[in-house]
Chain A
């Protein structure tokens, strides 16, 4: 169930350069599952469109969501100034989320694709290997993955921590085995992972990103190309907001 709600800001902190952690109290938390996102609305009404932000953690006991996001423009810059006691308009939870499959799971995050993997790691059964990619040693959420995953493997672009290179380089270097891969990150990362998964006959779920407007599947702004004919328009366009953001890697063109 989706709710339009005035959420209460519980706290906000800085995790890395330009990366913020915002905890909000909202009814939307009661319905959220890992891999879903919420739309956040700006106070400044000259910025009309909601910003889709992935859900990092869900605490249903106290109805809170943790959102970890990078400041990428004026809207997210506005959000970064929110402090305890402020309110923010939200719509959510939106999208489908990751299906929790059996078998040995590997969760893979790249950059600002790292946050949604945390709640997923907490909810997956079995021993989870987390593979996280960062630009450099200005990392975030690593402690949380150490606490919640069986194993944390890190790749950095500059080699300052862990494997120098991509998350796929780190998977190969560490010989990580899995039955299912769950991933969120930049498209080149998802493409490389999808290829790796296909070569190794591993089921792979990817969380996609696209510019959105309505967030609920009506406007058809945020489509991605799908391999099969889609159910909505009977072409080859799936709606990232409503049919996704999580897709099987074989379901979409990466």
Chain B
């Protein structure tokens, strides 16, 4: 049985990753998950300097999902390299994808340049889709021209293959996918969270201090499957699919729609072993369906 997948020349032992922002750099989940068994650890977004993030409350539950407005709190690239990358050094079987965020093109480039000499970094994921920061983030992710520009600049500086992470908060996600592909992106990942809002009817006020937050969890899964399918039919670059994946069925569904690999996000919060549970379920499915190579199901449903 082959569970290996390859994205932009980088080989992953299996297609299961966790989604940026839900898993830190893996340290907090090492008690529950053998990080060496994951396809990749995708780190929380890192900027060139520490970011304090948004005021609290930052999280709220909604039916079959949640809203978050963390605001990309992170320690900045220097601490990240010294602490988080050093920590990940011990997991040789697992690929490391560093999620990069910035308020401006210059800030993205600062991080990309800083990571150029870091051999432990296998790929970069550029976050142009965070709905919770006002500048940068989603501003780049909702305009195909801006997305093209960021991708093109990042590609000039990056020493690792570049994944562009797309926002679902657009009219036509295939336009964004095509723009970043044309600018040289090596892969795309989708979907980031959908902008949502929750109002407390007793207090008659917003639940989140930020008013709006990114919605994730099983409720968004069908939207993610649809968008992955659309992008798979619009671009040639490989896709990392995410959005509400909590079971192996969700992961297989995403791959059938066209994703080469999948990321597990919110499910980590209610099942810390979700990633490895999904991997086991996927292997059972392969045995039951007599699937020799997991790559054979990618985009199988046309």
Contacts and interface: CB of A to CB of B under 8 A. Distances in A.
Q: Do A and B come from one complex?
A: yes
Interface of A: 1-2, 4, 41, 45-50, 91, 210-224, 232-237, 242
Nearest to A74: B61
B246 to A, nearest CB: 9
Contact of B23 (A218, A221, A232): A218
Interface in B268-289: 268-273
B53 A223 contact: yes
7 contacts: A49-B270, A221-B58, A222-B58, A223-B73, A233-B74, A234-B79, A235-B73
A211 B207 CA distance: 10
Contacts of B206: none
Contacts of A46: 63-64
B: contact size bracket: 35 or more
Contacts of B271: 4
A219 B52 contact: no
Contact of A1 (B31, B61, B70, B272): B31
Nearest to B24: A218
A218 B268 contact: yes
Closest 5 CB pairs of A and B: A221-B59, A218-B28, A235-B52, A218-B24, A211-B57
Given A218-B23, A233-B75, A235-B73, A211 B29 contact: no
Contacts of B28: 214, 216-218, 242
B60 interface: yes
Contacts of B131: none
A213 B70 CA distance: 11
Contacts of B273: 4
B58 A237 contact: no
B299 interface: no
Given A49-B269, A50-B270, A224-B56, A218 B64 contact: no
